[in-house]
Amino acid sequence: MIGFSRVPLLAAGVFASYPGDHSILHPAGPQASNIEWLYWVIFWIVFVVYVVVVLGFMRAGARTYTSADEMLPIMKDEAGDRRASWAVGSAITITVLTLFAVLVMSEITGKKVEGETSKNPVTIQVIGHQWWWEVIYPDPQADQTVTTANEIHVPVGKRVVILTNSADVIHSFWAPSINGKRDLLPGYSSAFWLQIDQPGVYHGQCAEFCGLQHAHMGFSIVAEREDAFSQWKAQQLKPAQDPTELVTVHGRDVFLSHACVMCHTIRGTDAGSRLGPDLTHIASRQMIAAETLPNTPGALAGWIVDPQRIKPGNRMSPNPLQPDDLQALITYLQTLK
Amino acid sequence: MAISEPVVVPQSGAADRLARTWAQPRGFWGWFQNVHHTAIGVRFMVTSFIFFLLGGVLAAMMRWQLVRPEHNAIGPDLYNQLFTVHGSTMIFLFAVPMMFQGFGVYVVPHMCGTRNIAFPRLNAFSYYIYVVGALLLWVGLFLKTGADAGWFAYVPLSGPEFTPGKRSDFWAQMITFTEVSALGVAICITTTILRYRAPGMTLNRMPILLWEKLVTSIMVIFAMPSVMVVSSMLLMDRTINTQFFNPSVGGDVLLYQHLFWFFGHPEVYIIFLPATAIVSTVVAVFARRHIFGYVPIVTSVVATGFLGFSVWVHHMFATGLPQMSASFFTAASLMIVIPTAVQFYCWMATIWHGRLQLKLPMLWIFGFFFVFLIGGLSGVMLASVPLDWQVHDTFFVVAHFHYVLIGGALFPMFGGMYFWIPKITGRMMNDRLGKIHFWLFFVGFNLTFFTMHFLGLHGMPRRVYTYTPEMRWGALNLLATIGVVFMTAGILVFIANFFQSKATGRFAGPNPWGAGSLEWATPSPPPHYNFLELPTVNGREALWEAEPNQPIVGGVREDIPEVLVTNTLDSEPEYRDELPGPSIWPFLTAIAVSIAFIWSIFSPWGIAYGAIPVVITLIGWLWPRGHSPSPRVPEPALEARWIR
């Protein structure tokens, strides 16, 4: 009874995966699909094992249950023990074979997931920072290298290799519908592959505890058609446009004369520090502060003035700007498409 | 009826003499001098249960913070301290001290049929050092220097650069305290089991519980040094600028993980094996027969002890290991399922071919079967490398290990408590309240933790203090938090039951369950000399197989605290050994050692200067007793007198 009561809950919960949900049960590429397949195979195996063992215990209990309250004598049942030896022996044999099957399927799936490679991939370097992601599209020519943050663009249907590293503590790169996670270890770099077959925006999040704002260290992967991706990349390669209007010129001056310039880069200006995210094309991104806020003027203003209220403990200091300075700065940042 | 009810002996001359010889001092200062294993065992259990309650309060606070998206009850700084101290408390201050130290120290000498644990002063010392370590962590929390780098304290996050202040130092030194304590007890228990067993209790007649205590103790001796090394390296990185874990100068962050998990995974079995021993014991008693498959079960326990050391890397699959080593550790992790499966089948066969009396302790064991199995099977999923890449460090893992640790240790622990508390207090627990406790806890536990599987599958990582509504984790989190209410109510019912039983419970008598091991041959609660007449043993269940005129051990002196030492394999009497009596020195030594340890957090000179009082107290501890000890050589002339 106790065992059965959980079955409907189990079934309901497992099947209740909602669309658009970033779940390991909603794969969007071959790596996650392979793992999803493995998940269901092992799930059904352990489900059957659970039911059989629980039924076994209930049958055993029901068979010999006595409501007698007094101390019953100790019994011996040698014939029963002989039969039980056979039963236990067989059960162990089946267990060993089942485990072996799990091992083999797990190995095959592992090889498949790691085998989805290519000689000519899109290479992306992801560097973990407390608490944001630096994203670099390296190129042999230094001026063809794209640097951005938190929003990773990939072409649909192409193999992508992610090279991982960390600038401070251990982080872990995980987008559940794309692939399993990979730790970003300081002092180690590693590579893993992913591919996305459906255009869309996929959410990911840091999965290794990395300090105060571990909860607000998200990223997104934008999978788009090849031409859109090339366009995006070409746009990202350009330096920031020089401001032309009075208010945006003022905005740039605010940026360059306040604390902003200590940490951030805007290519095409004097701001070149690498401590914080590259803001050259900040206006092209959907979210700010590692997926914490939407990239709207209001959210941006709130973030700039008091980031510690939104994301306590993060590395950005508050910037008590004059209202017109702030307005100009926001306007300027919004031109950085 | 084959159960031999021990005769209640009137206060004979021998009983008086033994009571005087083994008496423990009373009063305030007497409390610190007591070295008897029952007293120390009960202290370990009571203290660790208090820390269990405190750890539970932290868990409830975390569930409150996560009850809905963007809940603002607790900020990230406090939340990180909560889960760090919760995890550290439950593992280091509750599970191991309760399951291994407390329960082992209390019951092992009784089960061996001897009068005290080996090295009783070391045993007492281990308790005090544990208490100081536990207080250190919690005082830190209340002083707002609670450890906040997770119970695993991965570098470099826990290192000097990313956790300045003293938070990680408090954590690392707490590890040192609790592991010194566990090592001390492991030595006491190993020695007691190997050398103090009653004549006739050969290795192949040892109760399964003793086998498991032996294996666990040896695992402690091999596993704990690893974590003490790694926490000391962390401490040195933080206090004297060593660079073991600093990657920018060639230190290695993965080294930390290897050393930590080389301890960390055996630790799971150090907690789980005592629980399976409780299960084997209780199942046999309430199926009214010998356990089915003694040899396979003992083999499984020993195999688990070995295999437990070969699976640690499955905590590190996501670090990007070479495929070859990942495969090896997958295979090993799946292999360790086999010994546990063997035990499950043997328990099932025992019930199948016995007569099941579903009394309160057995109800909890049935709860264990149903609940732990889920944790074991989700463990099979986690052993698979590709699946682990997905669910590692998510709430799926949180669900998994709570099913393993609560299902695998807490359910048997409560079963064991309802089973042995009548021995410890002499009074029965209330049956109806016990059943209410069970159902509240069972429902609440599953409500809280089963939902977490789905949270993990739907992408919720561990150790996040908040989440956005867009993630749609709110409903499941709310359910999980509701479960806490039921669990809390269950625990409160248990506490009420305990105090009611202690005050007005029915008297238990020596053997209320008709059990077969030797602790049930003593009165409840047992006197300090444990056994009026030292028993001998005929079979695996000493009391079930005792002859009507079972021989007893003679020739052991009653005027000094003396025990019989037998040989390891066949437990044949070898010599008599005088055990040290009550002493204040273990307590003073523990204080001196604590000063040195805590001082060393603040200055490396703490170890140098702190060593001086340690040496002084050790001299006091080891000061000769003033008379020659019993001869530690075989005494052939006396041999005829061992067994009367």
Q: Which residues contact A8 (CB under 8 A, 6 or more apart)?
A: none
Find, among B334, B230, B347, B237, the residue nearest to B284 by Cα.
B347
Q: Using alpha carbons only, what angle is made at residue A29 by residues A27 and A34, rounded to the nearest 5 degrees?
A: 70
The pLDDT value recorded for residue B636 is 53
Q: Establish if A168 touches chain B: CB-CB under 8 angstroms.
A: yes
Selected for mutation to probe chain A from B65, B161, B352 (highest A CB count within 10 Å) is B352
- 8 A C-beta contact, residue B367 and residue B411: yes
Supply A11's token pair.
């079934």
Selected for mutation to probe chain A from B348, B404, B452 (highest A CB count within 10 Å) is B348
Neighbours of B574 (CB within 10 A): 18
Contacts of A2 in chain B (CB under 8 A): 366-367, 370, 442
The pLDDT value recorded for residue B630 is 61
Q: Where are the domains of chain A?
A: 23-58+85-116, 122-236, 246-334
Q: Do A38 and B391 touch (CB under 8 A)?
A: no
Distance from CA of B42 to the nearest CA of A (A): 28
Where do the H-state alpha helices sit in B23-119?
27-31, 37-65, 76-88, 103-112
Distance from CA of A88 to the nearest CA of B (A): 6
Residue B188 belongs to domain with CATH number = 1.20.210.10
Give me the residue from A32, A75, A110 closest to B355, CB to CB. Answer: A75
The pLDDT value recorded for residue A8 is 44
Q: Using alpha carbons only, what angle is made at residue A163 by residues A160 and A169, rounded to the nearest 5 degrees?
A: 140
Is the dihedral angle over the CA atoms B590, B592, B597, B598 positive or is it negative? positive
Q: Do B156 and A186 touch (CB under 8 A)?
A: yes
Contacts of B288 in chain A (CB under 8 A): 72-75
- 8 A C-beta contact, residue A187 and residue A149: no
CATH superfamily placement of domain A246-334:
Cupredoxins -  blue copper proteins (2.60.40.420)
Contacts of A59 in chain B (CB under 8 A): 352
Find, among A206, A212, A314, A313, the residue nearest to B84 by Cα.
A212
Q: Do A109 and B296 touch (CB under 8 A)?
A: no
Cα B241 to its chain centre, rounded Å, is 35
pLDDT tens digits along A111-157: 999 888 889 999 999 999 999 999 999 999 988 999 999 999 999 99
Q: Which residues contact B459 (CB under 8 A, 6 or more apart)?
A: A21, A22, A23, A24, A174, A176, A203, A205, B394, B471
CA B407, CA B409: separation in Å to the nearest integer? 6
What ipTM does the predicted assembly reach?
A: 0.92
Which regions of chain B are under pLDDT 50?
A: 1-9, 637, 640
Q: Establish if A84 touches chain B: CB-CB under 8 angstroms.
A: yes
The pLDDT value recorded for residue B40 is 96
- The domains spanning A122-236 and A246-334 adopt the same CATH topology: yes
CA B129, CA B135: separation in Å to the nearest integer? 10
Write the burial class of residue B509 (CB in 10 Å: 0-12 exposed, 13-18 middle, 19+ buried): middle
Neighbours of B152 (CB within 10 A): 18
Q: Do A183 and B446 touch (CB under 8 A)?
A: no
CA B444, CA B446: separation in Å to the nearest integer? 6
Which amino acid, residue B531?
Answer: F
Give me the residue from B3, B459, B463 closest to A214, CB to CB. Answer: B463
Contacts of A71 in chain B (CB under 8 A): 1, 3, 513-514
The pLDDT value recorded for residue B5 is 44
Q: Do B80 and A212 touch (CB under 8 A)?
A: yes
The pLDDT value recorded for residue B628 is 63
Write down the pTM of the prediction: 0.94
The pLDDT value recorded for residue B627 is 67
Q: Tell me: pLDDT of A5 over 60.
A: no
pLDDT tens digits along B550-607: 888 888 888 889 899 999 999 988 888 889 989 999 999 999 999 999 999 999 899 9
Contacts of A170 in chain B (CB under 8 A): 154, 156-157, 253
The pLDDT value recorded for residue A3 is 41
Contacts of B374 in chain A (CB under 8 A): 50
Q: Tell me: pLDDT of A219 over 90.
A: yes
> pLDDT confidence of A7, banded at 50, 70, 90?
very low
The pLDDT value recorded for residue B222 is 96
CA A198, CA B176: separation in Å to the nearest integer? 52
CA A212, CA B80: separation in Å to the nearest integer? 7
Contacts of A38 in chain B (CB under 8 A): 384, 386-387
- 8 A C-beta contact, residue A31 and residue A179: yes
Find, among A107, A314, A227, the residue nearest to B328 by Cα.
A107
Neighbours of A144 (CB within 10 A): 11
Q: Establish if A309 touches chain B: CB-CB under 8 angstroms.
A: no
- 8 A C-beta contact, residue B118 and residue B188: yes
Contacts of A172 in chain B (CB under 8 A): 318, 393
CA B392, CA B372: separation in Å to the nearest integer? 19
Contacts of A109 in chain B (CB under 8 A): 384, 386
Q: Do A176 and B353 touch (CB under 8 A)?
A: no
Q: Establish if A39 touches chain B: CB-CB under 8 angstroms.
A: yes
Give me the residue from B292, B330, B464 closest to A84, CB to CB. Answer: B292
CA B55, CA B241: separation in Å to the nearest integer? 33
Contacts of B382 in chain A (CB under 8 A): none
What phi and psi values does residue B553 have, to the nearest 5 degrees? -85, 130
Find, among A213, A277, A203, the residue nearest to A24 by Cα.
A203
Binding-face residues of A in 201-240 toward B, CB within 8 A: 203, 205-215
Selected for mutation to probe chain A from B353, B366, B385, B468 (highest A CB count within 10 Å) is B353
The pLDDT value recorded for residue B11 is 56
The CATH number assigned to the domain with range A122-236 reads 2.60.40.420
Q: Could you tell me the residue range of the domain that residue B138 belongs to?
A: 40-551
Q: Do A110 and B378 touch (CB under 8 A)?
A: no
Does residue B289 form part of some domain? yes
Q: How many domains does chain B fold into?
A: 1
- Report the share of chain A in percent with pLDDT over 90: 84
Does residue B343 form part of some domain? yes
CA B413, CA B372: separation in Å to the nearest integer? 13
Does residue B487 form part of some domain? yes
The pLDDT value recorded for residue B87 is 96
Does residue B636 form part of some domain? no
Q: Do A23 and B77 touch (CB under 8 A)?
A: no
Is the dihedral angle over the CA atoms B614, B616, B619, B625 positive or is it negative? negative
> What would you measure as the largest C-alpha separation in chain A, in angstroms?
98
Find, among A38, A35, A32, the residue nearest to A196 by Cα.
A32
Q: For chain B, how big is the Rg over CA atoms in Å?
A: 25
The pLDDT value recorded for residue B632 is 63
Q: Do B459 and A2 touch (CB under 8 A)?
A: no
Mean pLDDT of A274-291: 94
A147: three-class secondary structure by DSSP:
strand
Give me the residue from B157, B287, B370 closest to A169, CB to CB. Answer: B157
